[in-house]
């Protein structure tokens, strides 16, 4: 079932949209024979004001995703009173920003090259959880490491002390059936698990394809619009 057109989405309240997505996740998990409790839902709040994060927090959300460093840093500072909120950095990350991102983010979903691993190798009190992002398209300009560079990048992350590899992350390519793309991701995840048995998590699934991602084993969903409503224009 699609999430409806954009207008319909904005006619629902935040808690209605959240409830609808939570029900969708429970349903998709049950279809896949999985427990919804093993799935973490990250609400991607990019372009939305800090107030929206507070409203989501009041509704029980604890995992928030952002994709631009400046905006994420400002929001994390603004919301530092929400002590048990977890910030996930899900966007492409410049090496020169990496150290700062590691200052507020608990999880980085977008490790896609060796230089970024080096940049994130900053001593810290608790390990930095991370995902290696894989490019599922043929376009090298897209975020993510190409599948043939995956093993080498994974080895590098594993050898880097402050980093704790959770698993793999990807975005389904436009114009491909998402379930097919996520099946490829699952096979690549199996390859990573052969190198690092603990790194068995899969970050996949957005507003329009989280059901397909759940069917292919996603453990971390990154959902924006279906919960937040349409994004305001980037400021």
Ligand X SMILES: *Cc1c(COP(=O)(O)O)cnc(C)c1O
Does residue number 219 form part of the binding site for ligand X (CB under 6 A)?
A: no
Residue 228 beta carbon to ligand X: minimum distance, rounded to whole angstroms: 7
Does position 25 bind ligand X by CB under 6 A?
no
Backbone dihedral region for residue 52 (phi beyond 0: left; psi -120 to 50: alpha; all else: beta): alpha
> Cβ neighbours of residue 81 under 8 Å, at least 6 residues apart?
none
Q: Which residues, in sequence order, are CB contacts of 129 under 8 Å at separation 6+?
A: 106, 107, 108, 164, 166
Q: Would you count residue 206 as binding ligand X (CB under 6 A)?
A: yes
Span interacting with ligand X, options 94-102, 124-132, 147-155, 222-230, rule CB under 6 A:
222-230
Residue of 26, 164, 200, 225 interacting with ligand X (CB under 6 A): 225
Q: Is the dihedral of CA 66, 71, 77, 78 positive or negative?
A: negative
**Contact present, 3 and 226 (Cβ < 8 Å):** yes
- Contacting residue, 18, 90, 165, 172, with ligand X by CB under 6 A: 90
For ligand X, the binding residues in 143-182 under the rule CB under 6 A are 171
38, with CB counted inside 10 A (0-12, 13-18, 19+), is: exposed
Number of residues forming the site for ligand X (CB under 6 A): 13
x/- mask, ligand X, residues 31-50, rule CB under 6 A, reads: -------------x-x----
Q: Is 224 in the site for ligand X (CB under 6 A)?
A: yes
3-state secondary structure (DSSP) of residue 58: helix
* Residues of this chain that bind ligand X (CB under 6 A): 44, 46, 67, 90-91, 171, 206-207, 222-226
């Amino acid at each position: 079932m699609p999430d409806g057109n954009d207008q319909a989405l904005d006619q629902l309240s935040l808690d209605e949209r959240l409830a609808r997505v939570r029900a969708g996740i429970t349903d998709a998990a049950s279809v896949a024979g999985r427990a919804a409790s093993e799935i973490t839902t990250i609400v991607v709040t990019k372009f939305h004001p800090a107030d929206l994060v507070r409203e989501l927090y009041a509704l029980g959300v604890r995992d928030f995703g952002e994709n631009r460093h400046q905006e994420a840093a400002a929001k994390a500072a603004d919301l530092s009173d929400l002590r048990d909120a977890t910030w996930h950095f899900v966007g492409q990350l410049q090496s020169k920003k990496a150290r700062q991102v590691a200052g507020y983010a608990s999880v980085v979903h977008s490790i896609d090259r060796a230089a970024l691993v080096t940049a994130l190798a900053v001593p810290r009190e608790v390990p930095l959880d991370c995902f290696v992002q894989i490019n599922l398209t043929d376009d090298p300009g897209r975020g993510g490491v190409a599948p043939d560079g995956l093993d080498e990048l994974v080895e590098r992350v594993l050898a880097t002390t402050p980093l704790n590899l959770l698993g793999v992350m990807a975005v389904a390519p436009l114009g491909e059936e998402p379930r097919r793309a996520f099946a490829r991701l699952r096979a690549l995840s199996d390859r990573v698990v052969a190198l690092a048995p603990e790194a068995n998590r899969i970050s996949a699934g957005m507003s329009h394809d989280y059901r397909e991602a759940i069917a292919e084993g996603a453990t971390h969903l990154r959902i924006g619009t279906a919960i937040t409503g349409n994004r305001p224009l980037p400021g």
